Amino acid sequence: MKLFNSICHHCAIIYGEQTVTDFEVNEEGVSKVVCRNGHEMTVVLQNFKFEILFELGLKALEEGYYREAVSSFAASVERFYECCIKIFINKSGLTDRKNYDNTWKLISNNSQRQMGAFYFLFLNEFNETPTQVKNNVENFRNKVIHQGIIPEYVEVYEYSKYLYGYLIEIIKKVKIRCESSIINILMEEVSDKSAKLEYPTWTAGFNTAINITQSIEMIGIKNFDEVLASSSIARNISKSN
């Protein structure tokens, strides 16, 4: 799905113009981009996966794909738990990547185990019980994903609005206590993506609705309705270029 766009640096140097090209996001977080003048470039996303998934949810909600929106928002929360696990482990001083990867394999196929790991690492870091997603919100998610119900816009809107607030609340806490570890994990992920790539490449971090690398003052500065509106406006501008 085409979610972001990039400026061709070759066109900027050669022609002195800003050539904007939409590009597809994918599982690897690495996209091949060809501008209208034929210049090729590789874009490495400098965003966490949960941030991208939330953007996909917003786009699906905006375009009327309500079941897909629920799936993307739900996946965003699960990958947020994974991201926080990495951050908390890094902050604790454990830097052995092999041991971490081997341990993650033990829970990689079980989202409930991952959530449990997040809960206890959160408790260890903040000395408080983490907030749990409300039962009615989880029940709605399960009905859509596992029972195949077809939700209406207002149901998905309320679901995504709740999850936005839920994630922002935790992100603020993690940002204040674990900022250096957030950067460590992000740079590690970018390095993994870039390791086997041919140049030229461009590493790009996009201003997503949920963004843990923003300054603490900017996190959650918009309410959910403002996020929806700004997301729609940005995409309409992109389509018109």
Residue 153 has pLDDT above 50, yes or no: yes
Q: Are 83 and 48 in contact (CB under 8 A)?
A: yes
pLDDT of residue 232: 61
**How does residue 74 score in pLDDT terms, banded at 50, 70 and 90?**
very high
pLDDT of residue 195: 82
CB within 8 A of 30, min separation 6: which ones?
A: 42, 43, 44, 45, 193, 197
Strand partners, 204: 45
Residue 161 has pLDDT above 80, yes or no: yes
Rounded to two decimals, the pTM is 0.90
Q: What are phi and psi of 86, to 5 degrees?
A: -60, -45
The domain ranges of the chain are 2-240
Residue 240 has pLDDT above 50, yes or no: no
pLDDT of residue 20: 81
Q: Which residue has the higher pLDDT, 235 or 53?
A: 53
pLDDT of residue 213: 94
**How does residue 237 score in pLDDT terms, banded at 50, 70 and 90?**
very low
DSSP characters over 169-235:
HHHHHHHHHHHHHHHHHHHHHHHHHHTTPPSSEEEE----SS-TTS-TTTTT-S-HHHHHHHHHHHH
Parallel/antiparallel/unpaired status of strands 40-45 and 30-34: antiparallel
% the chain with pLDDT above 90: 68
pLDDT of residue 1: 65
Range with lowest mean pLDDT among 14-18, 158-162, 169-173, 216-220 = 14-18
Cα 83 from Cα 87, distance rounded (Å):
6
Q: What is the pLDDT of residues 22-67, one digit of tens each?
A: 888 899 889 888 888 888 888 899 999 999 999 999 999 999 999 9
CB within 8 A of 116, min separation 6: which ones?
A: none
**How does residue 172 score in pLDDT terms, banded at 50, 70 and 90?**
very high
pLDDT of residue 235: 52
Q: What is the mean pLDDT of residues 215-237?
A: 81
Q: What is the pLDDT of residues 91-146, one digit of tens each?
A: 999 988 999 999 999 999 999 999 999 999 999 999 999 999 999 999 999 999 99
Cα 66 from Cα 74, distance rounded (Å):
12
pLDDT of residue 38: 86
Q: What is the mean pLDDT of residues 150-167?
A: 98
Residue 228 has pLDDT above 80, yes or no: yes
pLDDT of residue 205: 85
